Amino acid sequence: MARYAKNLRKRIQNKGHKVGFCVICGDKGSLSKDHVPPKGCNNLNDVEIMALLPSENSAKVGTTSQGGTHYRTLCGECNNTRLGIYYDPALIDLSNAITALALGAKRQKVALPQTIYPFIKPQRIARAVVGHVLAGLAVEETNQGLLSSPISDSLRSYFLDETAGFPENLEIYYWLYPSRRQVLIKNVGKSLINSAGKKEVVFGHIFKFLPLGFWLVFNGTNQESDLVKPLIKDKRMALDGVDQVEVDLHRVPPLDFPEEPKGNEFIALNSDYAAHTRDKI
């Protein structure tokens, strides 16, 4: 069963005012457009951004975003320096290294290894993911200043302090996502069955783009570890610490994972903070 907010046909805002509050650091001033994901990650096509709704209520027309998915929500320091210089390059390198393999896995037309183990800098990639998640679907927040919540406060503090370890109250998971359809869902709750057979609800953010999906989980654990893996094994790893990650090219979760409920699961989300894109035709 899925539960959705009212006002299902509301258009997603992505342009916003040129002056306002940065949704990461809170400074008020000129705002810049943040590409979500970064424009080095196969994100330069014109797209339509649409609210993520039940199929029978899906809007026929979305908000056009030229040159990729972007939101005017960040100051120049957070967007161009912190993301653009410090953190995005690590995410872009990983994305470029596996995009062709992800598409090959989807088409099943080439022989691929079962698993690859690229070297990455987990703390830089995690900060890039966190920064773009905070920036996306946040245009209205630029008018009123930072909205405080336990998960947002933890993510902002982590992003802004390059010496900080990954928050103890959060986990970040990843998996291969061989689709050009981008998905961003913030503040989503999903029921899962834990190892003891009891139902628990996990809360967090979902961010998917070719070639990877990410799930930020707050105060909970993801029980589907056979499908997804933790991005950061050592939360105290230094910013430039290097680790290998495992990417399974054959056992790929369904493209609608994890936002589509299965069986007796349910999803609770607000349509103002849940969007997907399609290439503009």
Q: Mind listing the pLDDT tens digit for each residue in 51-86?
A: 987 544 455 568 999 989 999 999 999 999 999 999
Pairing assessment for the beta strands 212-218 and 199-209 based on DSSP bridges = antiparallel
Look at the chain and count its residues: 281
Q: How many domains does the chain have?
A: 1
The boundaries of the domain holding residue 234 are 2-279
At 42, the pLDDT band (50, 70, 90 cuts) reads confident
Rounded Cα distance between 104 and 106, Å, is 5
Rounded Cα distance between 145 and 221, Å, is 31
| Closest CA relative to residue 248, chosen from 223, 226, 233 | 226
Q: 205-253 pLDDT, tens per residue?
A: 999 999 999 999 998 765 556 789 999 999 999 999 999 999 999 889 9
Side-chain half-sphere exposure of 171, counting CA atoms within 13 A: 15
132's tokens: 């773009």
User: What's 45's DSSP letter?
Assistant: S
Lowest mean pLDDT among 92-106, 194-208, 258-272: 194-208
